[in-house]
């Protein structure tokens, strides 16, 4: 056993001892989660004793679990949520282990997230698009009977919906070399729709509206309590800075003219504005990431270990 | 045929989207095309899932380095799909729906799919993003050097905005006269941060957005006119 392996073994054993000590020492335990049983149809809490006497199929089928405090008399220990907290904590540590170097634990977490995220989006789109949009339009009766009971009884089928389904299924032609060219049709539909939508969207929201928002009064007067008006110097300075900054930045992005003379000087101001903007964006990004880090540490030390009370 | 038809489809659909924006009677057609787009894109996601399976199955069958991790990916993928599609742990939410086991929402709290999101997906993704805090800080430490005016501006702004968002910003009000009773203390760096965000950040972002918009419009027009066919890929 080399020195590094010894170090990690000692660290691992120390962690296990800390967990064991913490779970025995505190009443709350480590990552223990409690829930109350609630009847989904009525919203009423089901006492644990009442559940044993009521074995009807309907009662069992409609029970949902809501988080509760351990002190709640109706609370019962939840295996699924407790194991979930433990698994989430261990996976969090696996990801943090990358700070040391790339290792098996990190790769394991990475492999899990690839599979889970792919599956997550497929399931989400299956229920939200294929069932809620396609099946509902092609066969409202079947949708109402099997998945969506709230579908109106007079809903009519819309068979035009079969066209995008066929078009969509054509993407699988890419897996068969002889008819792979047919896979371009749905792709062309998606690209064409995106191009048409984005053209209008960007022209409207990111071009016209941004220019409109930059056309600001350079001298702003605000109403006073006596009915007169006075110079709002703060707003005026703000507007002047915005107008000059936008114009200079746009000049910097204008590459059809050589950046010399007056154009060069204005574009240099544009670079300064962009640098200030990037500096602020960098700081905001760092703060966002640190907030996320704080949340993960809070999860580990509060939700899992119970070492801090927030 | 293999290239002309797709170009025609892209042009016709794209032009319909633009014309419908200016012509209210065509708005239902635009709405329908948007719905079709969602459906086609959704089915394409299933192709992505199939590709993921094929790629990892090949790695496993070839016993490539790290094939065990491919197996983990495939197992987690299969479990997520099975739990989500079968709505394991989902219960009906009203008395009329008791006989319909699949009528509850697929993301219902307490269901298997909710568990996967809550205890696998969310912790790993947020921890991966949290890791960036360390890497952004170390990259900034190595790369940021006050070599010229532009770099100095970037550094000073970053410092001001960082301090302006923490509790330490109150240090800047220590040298000011105490505020009148009942009024909050004036914090200069907080005001400066707000001013930077309202002016320079807004202006910089605005100029970038205008540039991006022009780029998107130009690219979209090239696609609609059939000048840009790169999305069709090579000859197959």
- In the block, tokens 């065509």 appear at B26
Q: How many separate domains does chain B show? A: 3
Q: Are A83 and A35 in contact (CB under 8 A)?
A: no
Q: Report the residue count for chain B.
A: 236
Q: Report the residue count for chain A.
A: 310
Q: Among residues B25, B45, B61, which one ends one of the domains?
A: B61
Compute the half-sphere exposure of residue A73: CA atoms within 13 Å on the CB side of its CA.
Answer: 2
CA distance B123 to B146: 37
Closest Cβ opposite residue A123 in set B113, B153, B158: B113
Q: Do B133 and B191 sit in the same domain of this protein?
A: no
Q: Which pLDDT belongs to residue B133?
A: 86
**Residue B86 phi, psi (nearest 5):** -85, 0
- Sign for the pseudo-dihedral over CA of A185, A191, A196, A197: positive
Q: Among residues B143, B174, B191, which one ends one of the domains?
A: B143
Q: Per-residue DSSP letters for B164-178?
A: HTSGGGGGGGTTSPP
Average pLDDT over residues A213-238: 89
**Any alpha helices (H) in A32-103, and if so which ranges?**
48-53, 57-61, 79-96
A contact test, residue of B6, B20, B147, B197 with most A CBs within 10 A? B6
Q: Contact B91/A63, CB-based, under 8 Å?
A: yes
CA distance A212 to A215: 5
Q: Are A41 and B71 in contact (CB under 8 A)?
A: no
What Rg, from alpha-carbon coordinates, does chain B have? 27
Buried b / exposed e along A58-77 (16+ C-beta atoms within 10 A): ebebbbbbeebeeeeebbee
Nearest C-alpha neighbor of A107 from the set B138, B118, B71, B122: B71
Instruction: Enumerate the residues of chain B whose CB falls inside 8 A of the CB of residue A112.
Output: 72-73, 76, 120, 124
- Residue B59 CB: number of other CB atoms within 10 A? 19
Classified as helix, coil or strand, A241 is: helix
Q: Are A270 and A250 in contact (CB under 8 A)?
A: yes
Q: Are A111 and A57 in contact (CB under 8 A)?
A: no
Cα angle, residue A275 at apex, residues A274 and A279 outer, rounded to 5°: 115
Q: Do B216 and B166 sit in the same domain of this protein?
A: yes
Q: Hey, what are B11's tokens?
A: 């042009």
Q: Are B45 and A128 in contact (CB under 8 A)?
A: no
Which residues have a Cβ under 8 Å from the Cβ of A234 and sit 6 or more positions away? none
Is B77 among the domain residues? no
Under the banding of pLDDT at 50, 70 and 90, the label for residue A275 is very high
Mean pLDDT is lowest, of A182-186, B79-83, B142-146, B218-222, for: B142-146
Q: What is the DSSP letter of B89?
A: T
Q: Are A299 and A89 in contact (CB under 8 A)?
A: yes
A contact test, residue of B23, B36, B122 with most A CBs within 10 A? B36
Q: Which pLDDT belongs to residue B98?
A: 58
CA distance A213 to A239: 10
Q: Which of residues 2-41 of A touch B (CB under 8 A)?
A: 35, 40-41
Average pLDDT over residues A236-253: 95
Q: What is the DSSP letter of B198?
A: I
Residue A252 confidence (pLDDT) above 50 = yes
Mean pLDDT is lowest, of A6-10, A76-80, B150-154, B171-175, for: B171-175
Q: Do B171 and B221 sit in the same domain of this protein?
A: yes
Q: What is the DSSP letter of A303?
A: I
Is B99 among the domain residues? yes
Q: Do B36 and B91 sit in the same domain of this protein?
A: no
Q: Contact A41/B119, CB-based, under 8 Å?
A: no
Task: Please give the share of chain B, as a percent, with pLDDT higher than 90.
Answer: 54
Average pLDDT over residues A227-256: 92
Average pLDDT over residues A99-114: 93
Residue B236 confidence (pLDDT) above 70 = no
Residue of A nearest to B47 (CA): A172
Which residues have a Cβ under 8 Å from the Cβ of A77 and sit 6 or more positions away? A32, A33, A34
Query: How close does chain B come to A68, measured CA to CA in Å?
Result: 13
Nearest C-alpha neighbor of B125 from the set A278, A296, A23: A296
Mean pLDDT is lowest, of A155-169, A196-210, B169-183, for: B169-183
The rounded mean pLDDT for chain A is 87
Q: Do B57 and B107 sit in the same domain of this protein?
A: no
Classified as helix, coil or strand, A33 is: coil
CB pairs under 8 A between A and B: 418
Average pLDDT over residues A141-150: 80
Q: Which pLDDT belongs to residue B1?
A: 67
Query: How close does chain B come to A1, measured CA to CA in Å?
Result: 24
Mean pLDDT is lowest, of A52-66, A118-132, A164-178, A210-224, for: A52-66
Under the banding of pLDDT at 50, 70 and 90, the label for residue A156 is confident
Under the banding of pLDDT at 50, 70 and 90, the label for residue A49 is low
Task: Please give the share of chain A, as a percent, with pLDDT higher than 70.
Answer: 95
Classified as helix, coil or strand, B116 is: helix
CA distance B132 to B44: 31
- Residue B228 CB: number of other CB atoms within 10 A? 18
Name the burial class of residue A43, with classes exposed (0-12), middle (13-18) and buried (19+) by CB atoms within 10 angstroms of its CB. exposed
Under the banding of pLDDT at 50, 70 and 90, the label for residue A123 is very high
A240 touching B (Cβ < 8 Å): no
Q: Which pLDDT belongs to residue A40?
A: 75
Is B68 among the domain residues? no
Q: Contact B94/A289, CB-based, under 8 Å?
A: no
Which residues have a Cβ under 8 Å from the Cβ of A97 and sit 6 or more positions away? A103, A105, A106
Mean pLDDT is lowest, of A115-129, A285-299, B179-193, for: B179-193
Give the distance from CA A65 to its chain's centroid. Answer: 24
Residue B201 confidence (pLDDT) above 90 = yes
Q: Per-residue DSSP letters for A112-178?
A: HHHHHHHHHHHHHHIIIIIIIIIIHHH-HHHHHHHT-TTS-TTPPP-GGGHHHHHHHHGGGGGGSGG
Q: Quick one: angle between helices B202-224 and A184-201, nearest 10?
A: 140
Q: What's the ipTM?
A: 0.84
Is B201 among the domain residues? yes
- Domain of B51 in residue numbering reads as 1-61
Average pLDDT over residues A261-265: 94
**Residue A230 phi, psi (nearest 5):** -135, 160
Q: Which pLDDT belongs to residue B95?
A: 64
Closest Cβ opposite residue B210 in set A149, A210, A274: A210
Instruction: Enumerate the residues of chain B whose CB falls inside 8 A of the CB of residue A110.
Output: 69
A211 touching B (Cβ < 8 Å): yes
Number of H helices, E strands in chain B: 8, 0
H/E run at residue A72 = none
Average pLDDT over residues A261-286: 94
Q: Do B117 and B176 sit in the same domain of this protein?
A: no
Average pLDDT over residues A256-284: 94
Name the burial class of residue A14, with classes exposed (0-12), middle (13-18) and buried (19+) by CB atoms within 10 angstroms of its CB. exposed
Please give the C-alpha separations between residue A45 and each of A73, A169, A209, B98, B144, in angstroms, as whole numbers: 11, 47, 52, 18, 58
Instruction: Enumerate the residues of chain A whose CB falls inside 8 A of the CB of residue B101.
Output: 61
Q: Are A271 and B150 in contact (CB under 8 A)?
A: yes
Mean pLDDT is lowest, of A154-168, B27-41, B178-192, B202-216, for: B178-192
Residue A52 confidence (pLDDT) above 60 = no
Q: Which pLDDT belongs to residue A181?
A: 87
């Amino acid at each position: 056993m080399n020195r590094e392996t010894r170090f990690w073994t000692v660290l691992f054993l120390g962690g296990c001892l800390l967990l064991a000590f913490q779970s025995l020492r505190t009443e709350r335990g480590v990552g223990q989660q409690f829930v109350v049983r609630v009847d989904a149809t009525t919203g009423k809490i089901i006492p644990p004793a009442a559940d044993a006497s009521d074995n009807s199929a309907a009662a069992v089928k409609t029970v949902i679990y809501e988080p509760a405090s351990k002190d709640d008399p109706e609370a019962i220990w939840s295996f699924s949520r407790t194991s979930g907290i433990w698994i989430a904590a261990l996976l969090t540590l696996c990801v943090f282990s990358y700070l040391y170097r790339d290792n098996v634990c990190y790769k394991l977490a990475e492999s899990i997230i690839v599979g889970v995220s792919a599956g997550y989006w497929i399931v989400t789109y299956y229920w939200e698009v294929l069932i809620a949009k396609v099946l509902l339009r092609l066969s409202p009766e079947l949708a109402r009977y099997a998945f969506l009971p709230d579908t109106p009884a007079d809903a009519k089928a819309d068979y035009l919906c079969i066209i995008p389904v066929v078009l969509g299924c054509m993407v699988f032609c890419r897996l068969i070399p002889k008819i792979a060219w047919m896979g371009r049709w749905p792709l062309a539909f998606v690209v064409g729709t995106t191009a048409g939508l984005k053209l209008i969207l960007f022209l409207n929201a990111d071009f016209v509206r941004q220019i409109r928002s930059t056309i600001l009064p350079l001298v702003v007067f605000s109403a006073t309590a006596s009915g007169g008006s006075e110079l709002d110097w703060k707003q005026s300075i703000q507007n002047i800075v915005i107008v000059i900054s936008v114009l200079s930045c746009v000049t910097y992005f204008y590459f059809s003219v050589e950046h010399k003379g007056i154009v060069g000087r204005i574009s240099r101001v544009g670079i300064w504005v962009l640098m200030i903007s990037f500096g602020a964006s960098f700081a905001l990004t760092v703060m966002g990431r640190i907030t996320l880090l704080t949340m993960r540490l809070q999860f580990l030390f509060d939700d899992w270990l119970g070492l801090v009370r927030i | 045929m293999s290239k002309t038809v797709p170009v025609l489809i892209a042009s016709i659909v794209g032009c319909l989207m633009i014309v419908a924006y200016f012509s209210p009677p065509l708005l239902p057609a635009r709405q329908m095309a948007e719905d079709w787009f969602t459906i086609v894109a959704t089915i394409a996601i299933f192709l992505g899932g199939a590709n993921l399976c094929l790629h990892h199955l090949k790695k496993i069958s070839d016993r490539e380095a790290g094939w065990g991790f491919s197996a983990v990916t495939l197992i987690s993928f299969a479990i997520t799909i099975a739990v989500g599609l079968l709505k394991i742990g989902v219960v009906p939410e009203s008395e009329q729906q008791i006989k319909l086991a699949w009528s509850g929402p697929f993301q219902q709290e307490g269901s298997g799919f909710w568990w996967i999101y809550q205890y696998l997906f969310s912790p790993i993704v947020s921890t991966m993003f949290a890791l960036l805090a360390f890497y952004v800080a170390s990259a900034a430490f190595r790369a940021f050097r006050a070599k010229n005016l532009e770099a100095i501006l970037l550094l000073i702004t970053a410092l001001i905005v960082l301090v302006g968002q923490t509790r330490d910003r109150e240090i800047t009000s220590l040298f000011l006269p105490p505020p009148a009773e009942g009024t909050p203390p004036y914090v200069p760096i907080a005001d400066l941060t707000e001013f930077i965000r309202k002016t320079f950040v807004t202006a910089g972002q605005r100029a970038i957005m205008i540039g991006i918009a022009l780029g998107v419009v130009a690219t979209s027009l090239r696609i609609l006119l059939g000048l840009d066919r790169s999305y069709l890929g090579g000859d197959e």
